[in-house]
Structure 1
Amino acid sequence: MELDGATTHGDPAEREIDLRRDALLATLGILVVRVTRRRLLASPAEVRSETLAILASRRSHP
Structure 2
Amino acid sequence: MPRFQRQVRVRVANRTMYLDVYAEQERVAFELDGAAAHGDPRQREIDLRRDALLATLGILVVRFSHRRLVHDPTEVRREIVAILDRRRSPQ
Equivalent in the alignment of 1:30: 59
Equivalent in the alignment of 1:20: 49
Alignment TM-score, normalising by the size of structure 1: 0.85
Task: Answer with 39-48 or 8-17: which moved more.
Answer: 8-17
- Equivalent pairs: percent with the same residue? 69
Which gives a bigger RCO, structure 1 or 2 (Cα 8 Å, sep 6+)?
A: 1
Count matched residues.
Answer: 62
Between structures 1 and 2, the one with greater helix share: 1
Root-mean-square deviation over aligned CA pairs: 1.4
Between structures 1 and 2, the one with greater strand share: 2
Alignment TM-score, normalising by the size of structure 2: 0.61
Q: Structure 2: how far apart are the matches of 1:29 and 1:61?
A: 15
Unaligned 5+ segments in structure 1 are none
Shift in Å, 1:6: 2.6
Runs (4 or more) in structure 1 with deviation over 4 Å come to none
